[in-house]
Structure formats: C-alpha cells, structure tokens
C-alpha cells in the first residue's frame, strides 16, 4: 500500500524536477523562437511548407478575385502554403530592418527607399539571373527597372509605378479663364486668382506634416525639376548634387509663398497636415490644386468622402492633370514612385519566394488586378508594356507623360535626409526661417550626411 | 589538540546548519528559479544590452559593424539641442499631465463615491476613455480638430471664434497632447482613489464629525492621509507611463509642428529607425531609465518618511 502510494503520487522532488524541465522547455522555446523567425522557419533547409509575404495589397475586399487567383496558382505551383500579412509601409520597413534576419517574411513588397536600405543591410537577394530568364523580362519599363538596381545588380521586380503630377480643377480654371501653371510665378498668380474669386475653396494644398513621407516625395518632385539626383555616386561615396540655391528656390515657391508669406495660396489653418487632409480635401472640393498620383482616380468611397456621387463627378468631369509647376531654372521632372517586390536574403525557401515575386509582378497578375479593380490607380501608368493603362479619361492621360519624366531615388539610406528635410520644411512653413536661410541650413546638413548615407 | 577538535566541531556544526538550510530552502529556490531566469532573459538582458549598445556607434542598417565610442554618445547628447528640447517637453508633459490627472481623478473619485441613483452605471461609463485603445483615441481627437468638419472647429465657427488644425498649431499642439493624456487617464486615477477611499473606516469620519470637524477638515486630515499610499503608486506608475509614452505623440503630431511636441520617446524612435543611430538612441534610452529610477526611488523614500 505504502509502496503503491509512493509510486502513484509524485514526490516534492518530482514536482520540482517537472517544473524545472517545464521552465527550461519554455525558455528554450522562447529563445529558439526568436532565432528561428517563427512560422516561416529559416533553417535554410528549403523544405518549409509555408511562405510569408508582406504586402497590404489583398487587404481590400475588391482585391479578392486577384488574391484568390494569386494564392491558388502559387500554392498549386510550389506546393507551399502562402500567408499574406499586411502592415503600413512604415511598420513594414521597421519590422523588416529589425527582423528580416530571422527569415520572416520570405518576400516583401515595399517602396523604393526601402530597397536601398534593405540592400545596404544585406537583407534582400539579388534576382537578376533568375529575372533575365523570364520571357516577358524585356517588357518592363526601363525607368522602373533601373530603379530596381543597386550597383548594377537587380534586387526587385516592379509591379506599379507613377509620377507626381499637378491635379487641378478644370472647371474652376475654365470658369476664370486660367491655364495650368508651368512656372512657379504662374502657379502663385493662378492661386491668388482662385482664392480671390472662389468661395469655400483654397487654391492649393501640399503636405507639411512632420514625418510625412508624402511631404518628402512632393519636395523631391520639385528638386528633380532642377537635378537628376539628390546624391550622386562618386567613387565609393556619395556627393550632394543640388546647391543651396535650389533648395531655397523650392522652399520659396512651394512652401514659403504657399503657406507663410503675406498672401498665402494655401489655408494657413491647415499647416502641418498630411495626405489625410490633402487628398480627401481635393476629393471633397476644398482645393483647386494638389500634387498627387493616379491613386486619386479610384478613391470615390470611404469615410473621408462626404458625397460619393459628387466626388465621382469631380474626378470624371471636373479634374485634369498637368506637369508640376517649376521654380526658375527648372525643367519637367518629378518623383518616380516604383514599388518593388523583393526576396528576403535570409528566407529558408528562396526558390518559392522568387516564384512569389515573379508571379505577383507578372503581366498576368497585373491583368488580374485590373479585372478585379478596373479603375485601379496602380495601373494608370503600368510598369509593363503588355498591360494597358486603366486611364480612359482624356483629362487624366497626361499622367503617362508625367510618369515618363519621373526620376527614381538615389540608392542611399534616406532616413537622415528625410529627418533634416522635415525640420527645415516646417521652419519655412511656420515662418521660423526664410527660404534662403532654410535652403542654406538644409544644404549644409545634407552635405554633412554625405559620409553617412 | 583541543583547539583542533573544537574547530572540527564548529565546522561540523556549520556544515550541518548549511545542509539544514539547503534542505529547508531548496524547494523555495527551485520554485523561484524559473521566474528568475525568465526575468533575466526578458528584463535584465535587454536592459544590460541597451546600456552596452549605448557605448557603441552602431547603425540599424549594419548592426554587426559597431565601433566602441565609450561615453561619446552621451557627450553628443549634451551638445544636441533637439535632445534638450525633447527632454524639456517630456518633463513638462509629465509634470502637467500627471498633476492634472491626479487632481481631476481625486475630484471624480469623490463624486463616484457618493451613493446616488445610477452611480453604478456612471462608474462603468467613466472608465470608457481608459479602456479605449490609444490609436482609437488619437483618431477621435484628430477628427475632432479637423480644419473644416471637426466638431471642435464647427462649434468654434458657430460661436464666431477662429478655427484651425489644432495639432498643426505651434501654440496648441502641446496642450492638446496633454489633454489627450489627461482625458485618457483621469478615470483610472478616479477608480483607484475611490477604491482606496472606500477602505477608510467609517468610524474615523464619525469620530471626526463628533469632534466638530467639517467636510474640508475630514478630507484633509482623514481622507488624504489614508489614500496617500495608493496615490503614490498611481503617481509613480503614471509618471513612468507618461514619460515613456510614445504612441500618443507619434500618432497625433509626429513630434511637430517645428518640434514643439517632440518628447524623448519619439526622439529615441527617430534616432533608431529614421537616422539608424542605434547607439545614440540607446544612450538617450539609458538617460530616460536613470531619470525614472531616480524619480521613483526619491518619491518612494519621501513617501516613507
């Protein structure tokens, strides 16, 4: 009986041993998990049965038929389950920079500034050899493909692209006998006329929020009207291209005189706002001009839109597109946005990850996207010649010309540059500094970043 | 000889005591061990690692390529005007927000303590702001102050007062950030203080009343001393929470306009993830840690005395 009790009831020592083993196993699990990268696994065995793709495409229900086709055809081809996770671009960038070495995700869709950061951090895989074997490889737009390269190697395939243009209210311009402005002086003159003659509408709005990537892109669009690059490769380093005068001109024409001067053409009460005010403001009829891309075309619903019918009419009949106005000495040019899809260099299954990239960026996928979302702004200026533009409205066709003048970002680490820009831009917008002083200060800061970027 | 025997006996007694000590306490140590190891992994290791990184110049892009700079990051911090601006804003935000939270929370606690019809429902409803996720709260505030269709601006416009995008206004952005902290945390203060007040024996109030103490005196000499311990805990917790808070500022203003709402938490984030300066960001983090540890130690000591 005693023996039996002894064997059937665990002793105190057994309990402690059990607890210790349990704790050790838990810790091992924690530590092991943090290094293995979770579900994707990254042991390099190449036998993983689940792949992870980070993109926020597919998060909209309109994407469903495209997503269904993509997932099913991918899983059928590779025998691997695909898990898609959606994060904002900023979250995605941060998580990838800190966690990609774990092998998770296996491939990622990002923006152009991410590509250079990820390449510098050795986080993405060169895919040139594989890509050149694609029978549709030559059909990608040259500018978009150049944007995917770093030091002569291809690190991503593009799937959407656009250039920043001036989107303006054609009906308002016609009503007052105005032409789309080409120079900064015309732009400011047109702006003042609209402010004077239109009630309940401001002539212009651009993004001035600290930390706004969109604000940075708008500013870069104007810098590209003066130079092909902000930084240029020189030997092993980078050299700042524009001089302080270029920065001063851009600050003066598109920030100081727009927001801070005596007769501003934008609503001074809207300083410090981002795209959340910019785009819906135009779509709701509050602004006559904004700097924007083709995505605006498809934005006719959602909580930001006050009247869907009115917005649709505004986009279809009352809006048009032109090149951005230029400060003195500038020529046509704009920020080229191309979104790359890249393979994680630490993925445990690079073959399947490449297949995911290839399939997502293929002309077939782009056509499926177009079927699912016929007015998609992502395909207004397609990055592959086998795909037709979704633009069928004459007023919006100049977007194609604008796209052709687009210039891709230099392959540097953009974070410190953006931080310097936001500070000086807000100094100008809030009247803390004149455009000349801000231009000089920004130039000196960017010059000092040459060795860091 | 006799000395040797005594020494042996003494050693034997110590050995026996040590064995007894182990026999009696090994279970306790064994039970504490897993938690200690776990805390070591998730608390001690990251903290020590953060302090260690602060001594290096290390980039987020190439974290393996670190250069030892000793106290170089701390020297850079002393000469960095944005750090001092963020430091000033963090201290001001914490001092103003926690003071207001405590005072308003105390007032609300006194109201919630009253036994009036419907007070149960009111107590539950008052917690809503604290339960809301921060992102939801920030979105609500952003909508409230939108230039044209925000409720605040509609009301101001209706009253003939000037309207603006308040988060984009240099003068008002910081007070608005303080207001969000206060709006969110007052109910938590109120519930905690109310619970503390309810544990004060009724007999103390009755005795004071018999001695002729009025409501203010009863509050000053009975309620306040009785809730001081809970007050200390709440203040320490909220000082730490407010000083370290990142998301409210980052989501509402991003530190702008013109750095007017930049605080140390957002500055650390930007240094690490925008400027890639991991070492410098870690050094600012270490300064925050030291400041909060000092505050907590001094405050607790003062409370004890």
Which tokens is B287 given? 């300064």
Q: Which among B57, B168, B169, B263 is the top mutation candidate for probing chain A, defined by the most A β-carbons within 10 Å of its own β-carbon?
A: B168
Tokens 């050094």 -> residue: B283
Domains of chain A, by residue range, sit at 2-36, 50-161+338-392, 163-334+408-448
Does the CB of B27 have a partner CB in chain A at under 8 Å?
yes
B121, β-bridge pairs: none
Q: Which among A206, A210, A260, A416 is the top mutation candidate for probing chain B, defined by the most B β-carbons within 10 Å of its own β-carbon?
A: A210
For residue A445, give the 3-state DSSP assignment.
helix
Q: Which residues of B touch A212 (CB under 8 A)?
A: 254
Nearest to B165 among A269, A426, A429 (CB): A269
Nearest to A426 among B34, B38, B256 (CB): B256
Q: A with B: how many residue pairs have Cβ under 8 Å apart?
A: 107
Does the CB of A267 have a partner CB in chain B at under 8 Å?
yes
Domain that holds residue B85: 72-304
How far lies A280's CA from each of A109, A209, A285, B264, in Å? 26, 16, 8, 32
Q: Which residues of A touch B165 (CB under 8 A)?
A: 269-273, 277
Same domain, B34 and B132: no
User: From the CA of A17, how many Å to the nearest CA of chain B?
Assistant: 9
Asked if the domains A50-161+338-392 and A163-334+408-448 are classified in one and the same CATH topology, the answer is yes
Same domain, B40 and B114: no
Put simply, the answer to whether B163 touches A418 (Cβ < 8 Å) is no
Residue of B nearest to A114 (CA): B61
Q: Is residue B58 a part of any domain in this protein?
A: no
Domain over A163-334+408-448 is classified CATH 3.10.180.10: no
Fold of A50-161+338-392: D-Maltodextrin-Binding Protein; domain 2 (3.40.190)
Cα–Cα nearest to A211, from B151, B81, B167? B167
Nearest to B165 among A30, A272, A427 (CB): A272
Q: Is residue B156 a part of any domain in this protein?
A: yes
Q: Which residues of A touch B62 (CB under 8 A)?
A: 120-122
Does the CB of A116 have a partner CB in chain B at under 8 Å?
no
- In chain A, positions 204-233, which contact chain B (CB-CB < 8 Å)? 208-212
Q: Which among A16, A115, A118, A271 is the top mutation candidate for probing chain B, defined by the most B β-carbons within 10 Å of its own β-carbon?
A: A271
pLDDT of the residue at A25? 47
Same domain, B37 and B133: no
Does the CB of B270 have a partner CB in chain A at under 8 Å?
yes
Q: Which residues of A touch B250 (CB under 8 A)?
A: 211
Q: Is residue B264 a part of any domain in this protein?
A: yes
Contacting residues for B252 by C-beta, under 8 A, at least 6 apart:
B138, B141, B142, B167, B176, B177, B180, B261
- Do A346 and A102 touch, CB atoms closer than 8 A? yes
Same domain, B38 and B92: no
Same domain, B127 and B13: no
pLDDT, tens only, A38-56:
334 443 434 457 999 999 9
Does the CB of B161 have a partner CB in chain A at under 8 Å?
no
Query: Can you give the pLDDT of all 453 residues of chain A as single tens digits?
Result: 333 444 445 555 555 555 454 544 444 444 433 333 333 444 343 445 799 999 999 887 777 899 999 999 999 999 999 999 998 888 999 999 999 999 999 999 999 989 999 999 999 999 999 999 999 999 999 889 999 999 899 999 999 999 999 999 999 999 999 999 999 999 999 999 999 999 989 999 999 998 888 999 999 999 999 999 999 988 888 999 999 999 999 999 999 999 999 999 999 989 999 998 999 999 999 999 999 999 898 888 888 888 999 999 999 999 999 999 999 999 999 999 999 999 999 999 999 999 999 999 999 999 999 988 887 888 889 999 999 888 888 999 999 999 989 998 888 889 899 999 999 999 999 999 999 999 999 999 999 999 888
Does the CB of B12 have a partner CB in chain A at under 8 Å?
no
Does the CB of A160 have a partner CB in chain B at under 8 Å?
no
* ipTM over the 0.90 cut-off: no
pLDDT of the residue at A18? 52
User: From the CA of A399, how many Å to the nearest CA of chain B?
Assistant: 30
Contacting residues for A105 by C-beta, under 8 A, at least 6 apart:
A40, A52, A53, A54, A85, A96, A344, A347
Q: Which among B61, B161, B164, B278 is the top mutation candidate for probing chain A, defined by the most A β-carbons within 10 Å of its own β-carbon?
A: B61
Compute CA B107 distance to the chain's CA centroid, rounded to the nearest angstrom. Answer: 21
Supply the CATH number for residue B292's domain: 1.10.3720.10
Q: Taking the CB of residue A356, how many other CB atoms lie within 10 A of it?
A: 28
- Do B278 and B58 touch, CB atoms closer than 8 A? yes
Contacting residues for A291 by C-beta, under 8 A, at least 6 apart:
A164, A165, A166, A167, A206, A218, A221, A324
How far lies A97's CA from each of A56, A65, A116, A353, B283, in Å? 18, 32, 12, 18, 20
Q: How far apart are CA A331 and CA A405, in angstroms?
A: 10
| Percent of the residues in chain B that have a pLDDT greater than 90, as a whole number | 66
How far lies B273's CA from each of A43, A418, B182, B231, B268, in Å? 27, 12, 29, 37, 9
Nearest to B33 among A20, A94, A429 (CB): A20
Q: Which residues of B touch A423 (CB under 8 A)?
A: 258-259
Q: Is residue B66 a part of any domain in this protein?
A: no
Same domain, B105 and B35: no
Contacting residues for B273 by C-beta, under 8 A, at least 6 apart:
A94, A97, A415, B60
Nearest to A415 among B38, B147, B276 (CB): B276
Q: How far apart are CA A321 and CA A394, in angstroms?
A: 9
Residue of B nearest to A305 (CA): B149
Q: Is residue B271 a part of any domain in this protein?
A: yes
Same domain, B156 and B237: yes
Put simply, the answer to whether A413 touches B27 (Cβ < 8 Å) is no
Per the structure, how many domains does chain B have? 2
Same domain, B31 and B123: no
pLDDT, tens only, A143-153:
899 999 998 99
Same domain, B149 and B273: yes
Does the CB of B256 have a partner CB in chain A at under 8 Å?
yes
Q: Is residue B32 a part of any domain in this protein?
A: yes
């Amino acid at each position: 009986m005693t023996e039996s009790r002894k064997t059937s009831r665990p002793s105190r020592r057994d309990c402690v041993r059990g607890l210790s083993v349990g704790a050790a196993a838990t810790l091992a699990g924690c530590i092991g998990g943090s290094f293995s990268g979770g579900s994707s696994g990254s042991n390099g065995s190449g036998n993983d049965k689940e792949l992870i793709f980070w993109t926020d495409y597919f998060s909209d229900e309109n994407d469903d038929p495209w997503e269904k086709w993509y997932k099913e055809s991918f899983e059928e081809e590779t025998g691997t389950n695909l898990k898609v996770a959606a994060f904002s671009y900023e979250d995605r960038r941060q998580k990838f920079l800190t966690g990609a070495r774990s092998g998770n995700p296996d491939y990622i869709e990002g923006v152009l500034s991410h590509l250079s950061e990820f390449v510098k951090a050795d986080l993405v895989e060169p895919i040139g050899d594989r890509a050149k074997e694609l029978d549709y490889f030559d059909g990608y737009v040259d500018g978009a493909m150049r944007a995917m390269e770093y030091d002569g190697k291809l690190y991503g395939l593009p799937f959407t692209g656009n250039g920043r243009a001036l989107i303006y209210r054609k009906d308002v311009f016609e009503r007052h006998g105005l032409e789309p402005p080409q120079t900064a002086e015309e732009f400011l003159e047109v702006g003042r006329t609209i402010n004077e003659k239109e009630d309940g509408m401001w002539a212009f709005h651009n993004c001035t929020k600290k930390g706004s990537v969109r604000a940075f892109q708008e500013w870069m669009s104007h810098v590209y009207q003066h130079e092909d690059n902000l930084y240029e490769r020189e030997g092993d380093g980078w050299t700042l291209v524009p001089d302080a005068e270029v920065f001063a001109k851009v600050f003066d024409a598109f920030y100081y005189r727009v927001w801070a001067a005596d007769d501003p053409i934008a609503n001074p009460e809207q300083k410090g706002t981002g795209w959340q005010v910019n785009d819906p403001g135009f779509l709701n009829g509050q602004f006559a001009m904004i700097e924007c891309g083709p995505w605006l075309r498809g934005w006719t619903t959602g909580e930001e839109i006050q009247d869907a019918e009115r917005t649709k009419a505004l986009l279809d009949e009352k809006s048009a597109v032109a090149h951005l106005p230029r400060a003195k000495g500038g020529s046509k040019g704009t920020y080229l946005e191309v979104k790359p899809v890249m393979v994680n260099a630490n993925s445990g299954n690079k073959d399947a990850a490449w297949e995911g990239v290839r399939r997502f960026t293929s002309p077939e996928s782009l056509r499926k996207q177009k079927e699912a979302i016929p007015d998609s702004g992502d395909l207004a200026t397609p990055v592959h010649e086998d795909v037709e533009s979704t633009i069928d409205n004459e007023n919006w066709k100049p977007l194609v010309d604008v796209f052709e003048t687009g210039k891709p970002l230099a392959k540097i680490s953009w974070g410190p540059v953006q931080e310097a820009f936001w500070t000086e831009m807000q100094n100008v917008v809030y009247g803390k500094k004149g455009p000349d002083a801000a231009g000089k200060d920004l130039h000196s800061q960017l010059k000092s970043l040459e060795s860091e970027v | 000889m006799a000395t040797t025997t005594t020494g042996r006996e003494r050693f034997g007694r110590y050995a026996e005591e040590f064995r007894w000590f182990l026999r009696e306490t090994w279970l306790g140590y064994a039970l504490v061990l897993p938690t200690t190891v776990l805390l070591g992994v998730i608390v001690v290791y990251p903290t020590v690692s953060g302090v260690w990184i602060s001594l290096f110049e290390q980039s987020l892009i190439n974290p393996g390529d670190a250069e030892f700079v000793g106290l170089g990051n701390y020297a850079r911090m002393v000469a960095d005007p944005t750090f001092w601006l963020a430091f000033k804003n963090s201290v001001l935000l914490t001092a103003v927000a926690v003071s207001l939270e405590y005072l308003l929370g105390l007032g609300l606690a006194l109201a919630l303590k009253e036994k009036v019809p419907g007070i149960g429902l009111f107590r539950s409803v008052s917690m809503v702001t604290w339960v809301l996720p921060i992102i939801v709260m920030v979105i609500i505030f952003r909508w409230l102050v939108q230039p044209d269709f925000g409720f605040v601006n509609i009301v101001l416009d209706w009253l003939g007062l000037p309207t603006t995008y308040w988060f984009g206004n240099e003068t008002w952005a910081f007070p608005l950030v303080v207001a969000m902290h206060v709006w969110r945390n007052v109910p938590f203060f109120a519930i905690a203080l109310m619970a503390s007040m309810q544990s004060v024996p009724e007999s103390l109030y009755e005795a004071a009343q018999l001695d002729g103490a009025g409501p203010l005196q009863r509050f000053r000499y009975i309620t306040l001393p009785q809730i001081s311990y809970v007050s200390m805990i709440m203040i320490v917790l909220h000082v730490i929470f407010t000083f370290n808070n990142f998301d409210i500022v980052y989501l509402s203003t991003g530190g702008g306009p013109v750095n007017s709402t930049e605080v140390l938490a957002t500055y650390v984030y930007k240094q690490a993830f925008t400027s890639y300066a991991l070492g410098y960001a870690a050094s600012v983090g270490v300064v925050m840690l030291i400041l909060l540890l000092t505050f907590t130690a001094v405050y607790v000591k003062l409370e004890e005395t």
